[in-house]
Amino acid sequence: MCGIVGLFFKRGAATQALGPLLAGMLSQMRERGPDSTGFALYGDEAPPGAFKATLRAPDGGYDWAAFEGTLANAFQVVCPARKYGSHAVFTIGSDPEPVFGWFAQHHPELDIFGFGERIEVFKDVGLPDAVSQRFALEQRAGTHGLGHTRMATESAVTTEHSHPFSTGPDLCLVHNGSLSNHNRLRLSLRREGIRFATDNDTEVAAGYLTWRLRQGMSLTEALEAALADLDGFYTFAVGTRDGFAILRDPIACKPAVLAETGDWVAMATEYRAIATLPGAAGAEIWEPRPATVYSWHRQ
């Protein structure tokens, strides 16, 4: 099963409307994925020369203040960290690579769930309303966001195995389905320098897109290449810094609904998640065609 939602405002600055609307959509997908819930938000931009990293600690009682102190000795911490229990968002004035090297050496207990100029990624075991509340989703602004409720089939029910998966700057992916050639593909992508944190099949699809984008492909080209290289069942929703895309496999057993108005594009596994949005009744609504890339970019 699994449930996917995505909401993309076509223009304008980050809006406070995003968090509550995404939380409402996720809530409707509760029955499709009671194991875990996750979401990615594209919020305020990091200042030039800095990047945002969403870090996840082993437990909610982690001493983020102490960590922030040691981090500030090694790198410039551009603005105060935002802390949400086990997760925290840091804005760091550096290239990401030296910071990740420092994390690996000094704080191997932390997971990096997402990094880039705008992305923030939160995920945990639990039902959508509880996870949304845990990470204050209803108070969060952004221009677009993706969410996922998981019913696990291919790997364990843990926070690390939850979606979204983010394997490159500002890129994230949520997936309904299962991939059958992920082990072999993971090996070849590792040789290309893509890092994987888990044995999850969806993380391989995210890593594949990161690799293709790194080669200079556009998001649409990367997804078209995925049609040839990924084997399995999938409906994907993908977020980038300024973009949003949907792809279903050629058999298209995994459901998907798209809706578009003058203001927004929304995607969900079932229409009932879209029905919660303002203007849904007047939206253009359709089922995305198999093996067809749909993508939108903010101007």
Partner 1 sequence: MIEVDLAQSSVRELNQRLHRIGPGDNEHHWRVVNPNGAHAVAVGLTAPVHVEIKGHVGYYCAGMNASAEVVVDGHAGTGLAENIMSGSVRVRGNAAQSAAASGRGGLVVLEGDASARCGISMKGVAIVVGGSVGHMSAFMGQAGTLVVCGDAGHDLGDSIYEADIFVAGKVASLGADCMEKEMTPADFDRLADLLGRARMAADAARFRHYGSARRLYNFHIDHAAEY
* Sole window of 75-83, 109-117, 222-230, 279-287 interacting with partner 1 (rule: CB under 8 A): 279-287
Query: Nearer to partner 1 by C-beta: 61 or 250?
Result: 250
Closest approach of partner 1 to the CB of residue 252, in Å: 6
172 tagged catalytic? no
Task: Tell which one of 138, 220, 285, 296 touches partner 1 (CB under 8 A).
Answer: 285
Among the residues of the chain, which ranges form H helices? 18-28, 64-74, 96-106, 128-134, 182-191, 201-214, 219-229, 271-274
- Choose the stretch contacting partner 1; rule: CB under 8 A; options: 139-147, 150-158, 196-204, 267-275: 267-275
Letters for 220-259 (x = contact with partner 1 by CB under 8 A, - = none) are --------------------------------xx-x-x--
CB of 147 to partner 1, least distance (A): 17
Question: What single-letter amino acid sits at 64?
Answer: W
If binding means CB under 8 A, how many residues of this protein chain bind partner 1? 17
- What's the CA gap between 23 and 37, in Å, rounded? 11
Distances (CA, A) of 183 to 50, 81, 155, 156, 195: 34, 36, 12, 16, 14
Decide whether 121 or 246 has the Cβ nearer to partner 1: 246
Closest CA to 62 of 36, 37, 38, 88: 88
- Report in angstroms how near the CB of residue 162 gets to partner 1 at its nearest: 25
Separation CA 261–CA 120 (nearest Å): 26
Tokens 């499709």 identify what position? Answer: 32
Among 17, 270, 292, 296, binds partner 1 (CB under 8 A): 270
Structure tokens at 273: 């998640």
Question: If binding is defined by CB under 8 A, does position 287 make contact with partner 1?
Answer: yes
Q: How far is the CB of 255 from partner 1 (least distance, A)?
A: 6
Q: How many helices (H) and strands (E) would you count in the chain?
A: 8, 16
Sequence-distant (6+) residues with CB within 8 A of 44 are 14, 118, 141
Q: State the residues that interact with partner 1 by CB under 8 A.
A: 252-253, 255, 257, 270-276, 281, 285-287, 289-290
Residues with active-site annotation = 2
